[in-house]
């Protein structure tokens, strides 16, 4: 099989370390350093490698202002054959769907292509929804989070894909779109002098004059950004002094004073009461929830949230799920008034096609989906199919003037933006673990149900799926112990008592997940996850910006590192200077002495050494 033409799509993003927010909470753009999105660097490197291997051509595309040409120069200097800059003032202010439409038009103008590679997501907007929206617009299969790939015979490509908390091996029929994970290969990276040396004739510019009337930019964007709130957390780092025991005692004093350890009341909902909807015959508007198979916690949380929204707009909740997983009474107790049962199991692209057809007929007020790979693909494709606005990775939802307002963190959580869709149907994907699980309602009657046929088009074949973690465990943890490279995996057992006493979950830096010491779902940071626990203990990590951006919203951060110069000390609330293997047992002893012995069985089973 040869790959004659490969397209790679790249995005220019602000260099995070250089990012500043103005007093109005908006990004200060003047003088801001820009660079190629890290995931896109892998897509370029892989595209160039495949083109060389298969005697094909690799063309790199971006949509952006004229300055985005620098990113294309970098790709060409790395070995891409040529590049296309889609740039027009009319395209300013594009949301993800308008961007996907501009890219689709450019690819159709220059194509056809056998393979299209993109980054998994951009680190600034972090929605991951352009790839599925584009795949839908071009009617292509999509494989997301590709970590390894092989071109197979007779027009198929095989990929090992990194999903939220596990792995999927799948084959897709070419032409196909693949979104690349960070560790797919070494990144394309070229210094400024190499970029400047690129022959300008290798870069073509396309404007709306080439691509048609649009609508482009703001006019073609079914979402609008409303209020923006700065969510800065200011920390006053405190270096603790004395012996390890003295520092630990002072740290626990502070943690108790700050309420960072100890019992927390269980979250039910805002009013602390279960959601009760007594009227099952409510009509429209419909709040639809796309329920991912085998994700029970997120299904319960999303249905509870949908019930609250339905109450606010006087509507009812419709759950959409594979019939094999349908327990009508259970889903009814979680908030579903009606269930749409998808017959058979099919890849997300085919489920999306069926759901889009159903939604076009029923015109729901809102569609909520989990912010997982599955949810992003289904919701992204449905939004592209309907031309409806999609807000990705929302952490809060409210209703204002009859419209759904979805609050979305941006720039690593430094700000929160209120996004409103202008389309009749408003789509939202919700960050895993962020919604409270509301108590079930008593079910006197089962929800009504209908079936929905899905046609499996056979363009993606899932060969193997494996979960090596549970995405919600870390997302919902009140206390998280984040470990860096200094803690060797064979000694992780020495952290068990600390985890037990604090009721904490384990997380890690990229160096740790790169080495395979912990699952990738445990990585925090700019190319990992963002969490907001009450307490974060950073153990044996240098505390680089790229890591700590993932815990910016933590209530209290404690650093444990013997190097007084390590940046983690200045980025934390409490800094303990010492080696983890001395500090951790001292901390456990101190916490136990003050009555924080959480799980007696674990303590009994722990080595007594
Ligand atoms: C594009 C890009 C994206 C990235 N994305 C992420 C991301 O999402 N998440 C992420 O984490 N990183 C990310 N990184 C990498 C990040 O910049 C850092 O390299 C990484 O976080 C450092 O990992 P570390 O702290 O485990 O290791 P190191 O930086 O090697 O730090 C180890 C620390 O352990 C300390 N130490 C040594 N002995 C002990 C001891 N006995 N007890 C306690 N401490 C000890 C040392 O003093 C040192 O400070 C990214 C980088 C790039 C370029």
**What are the tens digits of pLDDT across the range 1-15?**
678 999 999 999 988
Residue (of 239, 187, 169, 241) closest to 8 by Cα position:
187
User: Does pLDDT of 562 surpass 50?
Assistant: yes
For 370-388, the pLDDT digits (tens) are: 999 999 999 999 999 999 9
User: Does pLDDT of 146 surpass 90?
Assistant: yes
Phi, psi of 581 (to 5 degrees): -75, -10
User: Does pLDDT of 252 surpass 60?
Assistant: yes
Q: pTM for this structure?
A: 0.89
- CA dist 516 and 324 (Å) reads 34
Mean pLDDT of 518-532: 90
Where does residue 386 fall: left (phi above 0), alpha (psi -120 to 50 degrees), or beta otherwise?
alpha
Rg of the chain, C-alpha, whole Å: 25
Mean pLDDT of the chain: 90
DSSP 8-class letter at 89: G
Phi, psi of 304 (to 5 degrees): -65, -45
User: Does pLDDT of 534 surpass 90?
Assistant: yes
- CA dist 93 and 87 (Å) reads 12
* Ligand 1 centroid – CA 486 distance (Å): 9
Residue (of 96, 97, 115, 95) closest to 107 by Cα position:
115
CB atoms within 10 A of CB 551: 27
Residue 164 in tokens: 């939220």
Q: Determine if ligand 1 sits within 6 Å of the CB of residue 578.
A: no
Residue (of 44, 52, 39) closest to 8 by Cα position:
44
The DSSP code sequence of 291-344 is PPTT-HHHHHHHHHHHHHHHHHHT-EEEEEEEGGG--HHHHHHHT-SEEEEEES
Structure confidence at residue 276 (pLDDT) = 46
Structure confidence at residue 608 (pLDDT) = 33
- CA dist 536 and 589 (Å) reads 19
Structure confidence at residue 337 (pLDDT) = 92
* Ligand 1 centroid – CA 502 distance (Å): 23
Structure confidence at residue 603 (pLDDT) = 34
User: Does pLDDT of 510 surpass 80?
Assistant: yes
Residue showing tokens 């269980």: 266
Residue (of 444, 372, 117, 346) closest to 354 by Cα position:
346
Give the residue with greater pLDDT, 410 vs 218. Answer: 218
For residue 540, give the ligand 1 atom closest to its CA.
Answer: 44
Structure confidence at residue 234 (pLDDT) = 75
Mean pLDDT of 491-498: 97
Structure confidence at residue 29 (pLDDT) = 63
What percent of the chain is modeled with pLDDT above 70?
Answer: 91
Structure confidence at residue 592 (pLDDT) = 93
DSSP 8-class letter at 441: P
Residue (of 603, 407, 583, 569) closest to 499 by Cα position:
603
Q: Given pLDDT bands bounded at 50, 70 and 90, which one contains residue 360?
A: very high
Q: Are 478 and 503 in contact (CB under 8 A)?
A: yes
Mean pLDDT of 412-437: 89
Q: In a mutational test of the pocket of ligand 1, which residue from 44, 522, 546, 569 has the highest number of ligand atoms less than 8 Å from its CB? A: 546
Mean pLDDT of 233-240: 87
Give the residue with greater pLDDT, 281 vs 291. Answer: 291
Structure confidence at residue 193 (pLDDT) = 97
Q: Given pLDDT bands bounded at 50, 70 and 90, which one contains residue 226?
A: confident
Burial of 462-496, coded b for 16+ CB within 10 Å and e otherwise, reads: eeeeeeeebbbebbbbbbbbbbbbbbeeeeeebbb
Structure confidence at residue 434 (pLDDT) = 84
Sign of CA dihedral 172, 177, 181, 185: positive
- CA dist 83 and 92 (Å) reads 20
Residue (of 13, 9, 30) closest to 21 by Cα position:
30
Give the residue with greater pLDDT, 234 vs 286. Answer: 286
* Ligand 1 centroid – CA 470 distance (Å): 24
User: Does pLDDT of 148 surpass 80?
Assistant: yes
Q: Are 501 and 535 in contact (CB under 8 A)?
A: no
Q: Determine if ligand 1 sits within 6 Å of the CB of residue 523.
A: yes
Specify the length of the chain in residues.
609
User: Does pLDDT of 19 surpass 80?
Assistant: no
CB atoms within 10 A of CB 200: 8
Q: In a mutational test of the pocket of ligand 1, which residue from 45, 181, 511 has the highest number of ligand atoms less than 8 Å from its CB? A: 511
Residue 229 in tokens: 């709130």
What percent of the chain is modeled with pLDDT above 90?
Answer: 75
The DSSP code sequence of 133-178 is HHHHHTT--EEEEEEEEEE-STTEEEEEEEETTEEEEEEEESSEEE
Structure confidence at residue 58 (pLDDT) = 98
Structure confidence at residue 282 (pLDDT) = 58
Structure confidence at residue 556 (pLDDT) = 95
| Partner residues linked to 506 by β-bridges | 481
Mean pLDDT of 551-572: 94
Q: What is the dihedral of CA 474, 479, 483, 489, to 10 degrees?
A: -70
Q: Determine if ligand 1 sits within 6 Å of the CB of residue 119.
A: no
* Ligand 1 centroid – CA 142 distance (Å): 33
Give the residue with greater pLDDT, 430 vs 267. Answer: 430
CB atoms within 10 A of CB 453: 9
For 87-110, the pLDDT digits (tens) are: 999 999 899 999 999 999 999 999
For residue 543, give the ligand 1 atom closest to its CA.
Answer: 25
Q: Are 84 and 61 in contact (CB under 8 A)?
A: yes
Pairing status of strand 115-119 against strand 415-421? unpaired
């Amino acid at each position: 099989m040869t790959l004659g033409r490969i397209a790679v799509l790249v995005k220019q993003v602000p260099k995070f370390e250089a990012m500043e927010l103005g007093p109005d909470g908006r990004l200060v753009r003047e003088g801001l350093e820009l660079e190629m999105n890290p995931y896109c660097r892998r897509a370029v490197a892989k595209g160039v490698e495949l083109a060389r291997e298969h005697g094909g051509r690799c063309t790199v595309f971006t949509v952006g202002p004229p300055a985005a040409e620098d990113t294309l120069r970098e790709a060409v200097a790395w070995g891409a054959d040529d590049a296309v800059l889609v740039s027009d003032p009319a395209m300013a202010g594009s949301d993800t769907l308008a961007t996907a439409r501009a890219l689709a038009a450019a690819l159709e103008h220059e194509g056809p292509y056998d393979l299209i590679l993109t980054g998994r997501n951009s680190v600034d907007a972090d929605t991951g929804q352009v790839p599925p929206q584009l795949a839908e617009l071009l009617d292509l299969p999509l494989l997301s989070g590709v970590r390894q790939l092989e071109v197979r015979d007779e027009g198929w490509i095989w990929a090992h894909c990194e999903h939220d908390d596990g792995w999927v091996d799948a084959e897709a029929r070419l032409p196909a779109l693949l979104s690349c994970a960070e560790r797919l290969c070494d990144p394309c990276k070229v210094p400024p002098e190499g970029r400047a040396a690129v022959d300008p004739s290798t870069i073509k510019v396309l404007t709306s004059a080439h691509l048609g009337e649009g609508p482009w930019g703001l006019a073609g964007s079914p979402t609008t950004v409303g209020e923006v709130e700065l969510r800065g957390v200011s920390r006053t780092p405190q270096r603790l002094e004395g012996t390890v025991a003295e520092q630990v005692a002072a740290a626990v004093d502070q943690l108790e004073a700050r309420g960072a350890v100890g019992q927390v009341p269980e979250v039910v909902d805002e009013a602390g009461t279960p959601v009760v909807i007594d009227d099952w015959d409510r009509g429209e508007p419909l709040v639809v929830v796309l329920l991912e198979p085998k994700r029970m916690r997120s299904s319960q949380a999303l249905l509870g949230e949908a019930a609250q929204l339905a109450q606010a707009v006087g509507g009812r909740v419709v759950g959409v799920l594979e019939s094999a997983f349908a327990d009508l009474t259970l889903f009814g107790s979680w908030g579903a008034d009606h269930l749409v049962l998808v017959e058979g199991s099919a890849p997300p692209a085919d489920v999306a096609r069926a759901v889009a057809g159903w939604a076009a007929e029923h015109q729901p007020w809102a569609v909520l989906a989990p912010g997982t790979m599955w949810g992003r693909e289904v919701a992204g494709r449905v939004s592209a199919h309907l031309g409806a606005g999609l807000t990705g990775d929302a952490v809060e939802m409210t209703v204002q003037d009859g419209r759904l307002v979805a609050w979305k963190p941006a720039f690593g959580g430094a700000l929160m933006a209120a996004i409103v869709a202008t389309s009749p149907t408003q789509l939202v994907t919700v960050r895993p673990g962020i919604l409270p699980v509301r108590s079930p309602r008593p079910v006197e009657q089962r929800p009504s149900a209908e079936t929905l046929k899905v046609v499996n088009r056979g363009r993606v074949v899932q060969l193997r799926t494996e979960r090596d973690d549970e995405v919600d465990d870390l997302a919902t943890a009140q206390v998280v112990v984040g470990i860096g490279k200094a803690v060797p995996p064979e000694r992780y057992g020495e952290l068990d008592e600390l985890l037990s006493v604090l009721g904490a979950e384990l997380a890690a830096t990229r160096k740790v997940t790169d080495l395979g010491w912990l699952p990738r779902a445990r990585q925090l940071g700019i190319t990992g996850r963002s969490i907001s626990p009450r307490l974060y203990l950073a153990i044996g990590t240098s505390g680089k910006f790229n890591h700590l951006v993932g815990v910016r919203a933590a209530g209290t951060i404690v650093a444990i590192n013997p190097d007084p110069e390590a940046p983690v000390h200045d980025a934390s609330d409490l800094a303990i200077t010492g080696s983890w293997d001395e500090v951790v047992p001292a901390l456990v002893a101190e916490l136990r002495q003050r009555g924080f012995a959480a799980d007696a069985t674990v303590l009994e089973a722990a080595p007594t050494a």
